[in-house]
């Protein structure tokens, strides 16, 4: 069998098993296992190895700890009170809560280098509140998913660091280059929500006009947000203050959530037990998908399928634009099955020689790369943000609901990608003025 056909069969096996309802983690791992078994049995050892080394990665500890932080806040009911305050404050704007969610995600993105924390936390806190105020499910899910994905674009960013290492590009410049595109996307999302809800108020109902709050009530409501402010300041503060690494900051966030519950006298045995149980369920699900994806990629490489990608790019007509467009398309397609680290590890070494021959700016390409990966997070059928969201939301929410929620935001990401493609200054302006 030619390697081209093998690649098609490999992906077909995965997608068919997933669409027939096999859990994602088992579909990824099972496809890897059966192809290794039939074609390269000595590579089978990489499956337990992928399990061990994926979870051994020390940055991953952020996943259960940020989950725990969100769960503690959620089960204690503090989040509802705080969101009630937000509602009083900006509730008169149609879609205000969803816009607020995007803003908080943006702040979260400036705290963490990866995507799951903002998605996980806001999925647990903001979603139930938006449902309580009769927001449309799609606006709610979309704002959390798109906002959460910003974590990789706005510095600090682990994907930028890995790209910088492999491309031998300045990480500092990459960080700076991510700021404007990240903020730009956050504004796009906010404007979209605001405009859409202004025309279709039932999607994000504003407060009834007769319901007014006194300045005193509003001030009190602002004070009601303090647990969130404290959490964000602590997590952000210990990182930017040079006290802790991102992994350690997650432990601070969870610990702070415990103390906030204590102050509110909400730290019951029930809250602790349910928070830990919910955290274990989500962490177990997410880690197994990561493990399955790592195994899937390892066998993909072992069977020599990565060469397909180079051939595809180099065979592309249309000169520089054609080749760049092909690279972007490949990243997007790989994003359907792989996580961000895996794509960067796989594509950067393959694409970089081409980038250097074409004399394309490596910082600019890096930003295009990461914006593209954000789209990969959100594009069905397979995107890591989608899985986290689906795992967090109540049982009644289906994957189809999630898919239908994200497409306007994916369109906005595509618009952003096009703009950065046509106007490289959007990315390069900030690093240029700093240098």
Partner 1 sequence: QDSGPPDEVTEWTIQPCFDNSDAGWASGVLPWADAVEKATEGSVQIEVVPAGSITSGGEAFGAAAAGVTDGVACWATVYGGDMPAGMLAFGLPMGAESPEEAWEVMWGDDYRVGDLVQEAASQRNLYFAGWTNQGPNAMFTTFEVRGLADFEGRKMRAGGPQAMFHEAIGGTPVSMDAGDIYTAIRLGTVDGTYWDTGGVDNMSFDEVIDYAVMPGWNPAQHQSTYVNLDSWNALTEWQQDQINGIFEEVYFETSRMHLDGVDEALQAVEDSGGEVVYLSDEEVGKLRQVAIEEVWPDIADLSDLAAEGVDIYERYMRDNGKL
Partner 2 sequence: MSALLKLDRCVDRIADLTGVLAGLLITYCMVLGVVDVFLRYALNSASLWIGPTLQAAMVLIACTAGVYAFKEGTFVRLDVFYDGLSRRTKAILDLLTAGLGLIFLWVLMWKGKEAVELALLLKQTTPTVIPMPLAPIKAAIPISAMLMTIFVIRQIIKDIVTLIGPERPVGSDEAHEVLKAK
Sign of the dihedral through C-alpha 31, 33, 34, 37: positive
CB nearer to Na ion: give 370 or 376. 376
Pick the piece of the chain touching partner 1 (CB under 8 A) from 39-47, 79-87, 104-112, 323-331.
39-47
Pick the piece of the chain touching partner 2 (CB under 8 A) from 59-67, 141-149, 361-369, 426-434.
59-67
Pick the piece of the chain touching partner 1 (CB under 8 A) from 55-63, 257-265, 276-284, 414-422.
55-63
Min dist CB 293 to partner 1, Å, is: 12
Query: Which of the listed partners (partner 2, Na ion, partner 1, none) does 98 bind, with a CB threshold of 5 to 8 Å by partner kind?
Result: none
Contact between 379 and Na ion by CB under 5 A: the answer reads: yes
Helix axes 362-378, 171-199, angle to 10 degrees: 40
CB nearer to partner 2: give 1 or 20. 20
Contact between 89 and partner 2 by CB under 8 A: the answer reads: no
Query: Which of the listed partners (partner 1, partner 2, Na ion, none) does 151 bind, with a CB threshold of 5 to 8 Å by partner kind?
Result: Na ion
CB atoms within 10 A of CB 317: 7
Contact between 283 and partner 2 by CB under 8 A: the answer reads: yes
Helix axes 96-109, 116-132, angle to 10 degrees: 160
Pick the piece of the chain touching partner 2 (CB under 8 A) from 118-126, 157-165, 248-256, 312-320.
248-256
Site for Na ion in 304-363 (CB under 5 A): 335-336
Query: Which of the listed partners (partner 2, partner 1, Na ion, none) does 164 bind, with a CB threshold of 5 to 8 Å by partner kind?
Result: partner 1
Query: Which of the listed partners (partner 2, partner 1, Na ion, none) does 376 bind, with a CB threshold of 5 to 8 Å by partner kind?
Result: Na ion
CA distances to 96, 133, 275, 364 from 369, rounded to whole Å, are 31, 37, 36, 9
Site size for partner 2 (CB under 8 A): 73
Contact between 251 and partner 2 by CB under 8 A: the answer reads: yes
Cis check for the bond before 128: say yes or no (omega within 30 of 0).
no
Query: Which of the listed partners (Na ion, partner 2, partner 1, none) does 109 bind, with a CB threshold of 5 to 8 Å by partner kind?
Result: Na ion
CA angle 81, 391, 289 (to 5 degrees): 140
Cis check for the bond before 115: say yes or no (omega within 30 of 0).
no
CB 29 within 8 A of CB 46: no
Site for partner 1 in 80-139 (CB under 8 A): 113
Whole-angstrom distance, CA of residue 45 vs CA of residue 198: 56
Contact between 168 and partner 1 by CB under 8 A: the answer reads: yes
CB nearer to partner 2: give 364 or 403. 403
Contact between 109 and Na ion by CB under 5 A: the answer reads: yes
Whole-angstrom distance, CA of residue 276 vs CA of residue 421: 44
CB atoms within 10 A of CB 165: 13
Site for partner 2 in 387-426 (CB under 8 A): 387, 390-391, 398-400, 403
Q: What's the token pair of residue 131? A: 């449902």
Pick the piece of the chain touching partner 2 (CB under 8 A) from 75-83, 274-282, 351-359, 409-417.
274-282
CA distances to 17, 262, 342, 412 from 327, rounded to whole Å, are 27, 51, 15, 20
Whole-angstrom distance, CA of residue 88 vs CA of residue 207: 8
The residues, any chain, with a CB within 8 Å of residue 316's CB and separated by 6 or more, are: 322, 323, 325, 326
CB 30 within 8 A of CB 22: yes
CB nearer to partner 2: give 8 or 45. 45
Whole-angstrom distance, CA of residue 229 vs CA of residue 253: 12
> Which residues are near partner 1 by CB under 8 A?
42-43, 45-46, 49-50, 52-54, 56-59, 113, 156, 158, 161-162, 164-166, 168-172, 239-247, 298, 301-302, 306, 342, 345, 349
């Amino acid at each position: 069998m030619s390697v081209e056909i093998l690649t098609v069969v490999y992906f077909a096996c995965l997608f068919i098993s997933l669409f027939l309802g096999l859990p994602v983690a088992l579909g990824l791992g099972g496809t890897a296992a059966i192809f290794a078994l039939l074609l390269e049995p000595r590579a089978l050892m990489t499956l337990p190895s992928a399990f061990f080394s994926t979870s051994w990665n020390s940055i991953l500890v952020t996943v259960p700890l940020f989950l725990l932080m969100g769960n503690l806040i959620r089960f204690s009911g503090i989040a509802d009170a705080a969101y009630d305050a937000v509602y009083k404050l900006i509730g008169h704007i149609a879609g205000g809560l969803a816009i607020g969610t995007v803003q908080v995600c943006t702040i979260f993105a400036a705290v963490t280098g990866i995507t799951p924390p903002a998605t996980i936390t806001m999925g647990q806190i903001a979603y139930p509140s938006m449902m309580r105020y009769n927001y449309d499910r799609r606006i709610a899910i979309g704002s959390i998913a798109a906002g959460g994905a910003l974590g990789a674009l706005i510095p600090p960013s682990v994907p930028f660091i890995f790209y910088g290492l492999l491309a031998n590009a300045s990480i500092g410049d990459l960080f700076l280059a991510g700021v404007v595109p990240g903020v730009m996307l956050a504004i796009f999302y906010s404007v979209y929500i605001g405009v859409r809800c202004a025309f279709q108020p039932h999607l994000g109902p504003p407060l009834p006009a007769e319901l007014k709050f006194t300045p005193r009530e509003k001030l009190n409501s602002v004070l009601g947000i303090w647990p969130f402010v404290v959490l964000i300041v602590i997590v952000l503060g210990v990182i930017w203050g040079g006290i802790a690494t991102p992994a350690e900051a997650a432990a601070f966030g969870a610990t702070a959530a415990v103390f906030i519950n204590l102050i509110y006298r909400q730290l019951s045995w029930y809250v602790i037990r349910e928070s830990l149980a919910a955290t274990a369920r989500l962490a177990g699900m997410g880690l197994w998908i990561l493990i399955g994806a790592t195994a899937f990629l390892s066998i993909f490489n072992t069977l020599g399928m990565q060469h397909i990608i180079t051939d595809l790019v180099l065979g592309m007509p249309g000169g520089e634009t054609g080749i760049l467009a092909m690279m972007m398309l490949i990243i997007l397609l790989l994003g359907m099955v792989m996580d961000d680290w895996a794509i960067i590890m796989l594509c950067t070494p393959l694409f970089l020689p081409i980038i250097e021959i074409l004399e394309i700016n490596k910082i600019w390409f890096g930003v295009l790369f990461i914006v593209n990966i954000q789209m990969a997070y959100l594009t069905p059928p397979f995107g890591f943000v989608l899985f986290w969201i689906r795992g967090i939301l109540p049982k009644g929410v289906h994957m189809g609901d999630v898919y239908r929620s994200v497409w306007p935001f994916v369109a906005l990401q595509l618009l952003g990608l096009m703009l950065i493609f046509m106007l490289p200054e959007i990315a390069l302006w900030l690093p240029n003025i700093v240098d």
